[in-house]
């Protein structure tokens, strides 16, 4: 068991909005042990999903680091699963990119095959 399995260091997310930059997550640091069960609790809109999406690698971090099992992580990977609150496609990706997200992670060396 790793004492430092998931490490978040001064994680931050700022979204551009028509009213200017919106700081949604700021200076979030935590260390989670392997096997530990953790709940993120906060009011609607406080940034819980934003943090989870950064850990999953589904959205970019603005600042800070996500370290998983000792390695800085920036992309999605089959070592992290996400159960969305509703059946979901990632709206900022095309339909094809949504499909390829999983395929490329699990079968990075698969040969592209086309049918007529």
Ligand X SMILES: Nc1ncnc2c1ncn2[C@@H]1O[C@H](COP(=O)(O)OP(=O)(O)O)[C@@H](O)[C@H]1O
Residue 22 touching ligand X (CB under 6 A): yes
Instruction: Say how many residues touch ligand X, by CB under 6 A.
Output: 12
Residue 50 touching ligand X (CB under 6 A): yes
Q: Please, what is the minimum distance in Å from the beta carbon of residue 89 to ligand X?
A: 15
Question: In the numeric block, which tokens belong to residue 111?
Answer: 């040969």
- CA torsion 104→77→84→5, rounded to 10°? 170
Instruction: Pick the stretch among 34-42, 49-57, 75-83, 107-115 that binds Mg ion (CB under 5 A).
Output: 49-57
Give the C-alpha distances (Å, rounded to integers) separating 46 from 9, 40, 61, 109. 18, 10, 16, 39
Residue 49 touching Mg ion (CB under 5 A): yes
Q: Which is nearer to ligand X, 22 or 93 (CB)?
A: 22
- CA torsion 15→16→18→22, rounded to 10°? 40
Chain positions contacting Mg ion, by CB under 5 A: 48-49
């Amino acid at each position: 068991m790793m004492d430092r399995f998931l490490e978040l260091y001064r994680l931050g997310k700022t979204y551009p909005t028509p009213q200017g930059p919106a700081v949604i997550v700021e200076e979030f640091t935590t260390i989670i042990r392997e096997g530990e069960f953790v709940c993120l609790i906060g009011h609607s809109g406080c940034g819980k999903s934003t943090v989870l999406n950064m850990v999953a690698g589904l959205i970019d971090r603005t600042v800070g680091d996500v370290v998983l099992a000792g390695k800085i992580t920036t992309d999605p990977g089959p070592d992290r699963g996400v159960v969305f609150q509703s059946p979901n496609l990632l709206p900022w990706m095309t339909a094809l990119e949504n499909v390829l997200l999983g395929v490329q992670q699990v079968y990075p060396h698969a040969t592209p095959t086309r049918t007529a």
